[in-house]
């Protein structure tokens, strides 16, 4: 079972922006969507590319590499070439700190390189 880990602070992820971390071998992204925080696997499900290096507009995250996009409130694929939803992680804000329930690396299905 994933345990909550402090990844950063709310000051590091202003509204409309994202930031990524590597926690215990897992790429973790956090986005601030209209004041709500969403944590996700920071790797496109189509091919390995860090999504926090991509484009966020509202709740829609679009991968810069091939144009796959995801709804960050659910992880649902919104545009090909991705066909698998984006793994989402539970996130909590505690006294200005962002905490994410980070799974172990073997619980994450990696896309092809």
- Residue 101 within any structural domain of the chain: yes
- Indicate the pTM of the whole model: 0.95
What residue numbers bound the domain in which 70 lies? 3-107
Is 14 a residue whose pLDDT tops 90? yes
* Count: domains in the chain: 1
Pairing of strands 26-33, 60-62: unpaired
CA distance 99 to 112: 28
- Residue 9 within any structural domain of the chain: yes
The answer to whether the CB of 58 falls within 8 A of the CB of 34 is yes
Is 101 a residue whose pLDDT tops 90? yes
CA distance 27 to 20: 7
- Residue 56 within any structural domain of the chain: yes
CA distance 70 to 103: 20
- Residue 52 within any structural domain of the chain: yes
End-to-end CA distance of the chain: 27
Is 106 a residue whose pLDDT tops 80? yes
Is 15 a residue whose pLDDT tops 90? yes
CATH number for the domain harbouring residue 82: 2.102.10.10
């Amino acid at each position: 079972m994933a345990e909550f880990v402090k990844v950063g602070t709310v000051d590091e992820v202003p509204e409309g922006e994202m930031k990524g971390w590597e926690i215990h071998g897992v790429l973790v992204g956090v986005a601030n969507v209209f004041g709500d925080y969403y944590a996700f696997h920071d790797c496109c499900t189509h091919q390995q590319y860090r999504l926090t290096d991509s484009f966020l507009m509202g709740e829609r995250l679009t991968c810069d590499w091939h144009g796959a996009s995801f709804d960050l409130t659910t992880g649902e694929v919104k545009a090909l070439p991705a066909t698998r939803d984006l793994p989402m992680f539970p996130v909590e804000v505690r006294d200005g700190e962002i905490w994410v329930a980070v799974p172990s690396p073997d619980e994450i299905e990696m896309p092809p390189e």
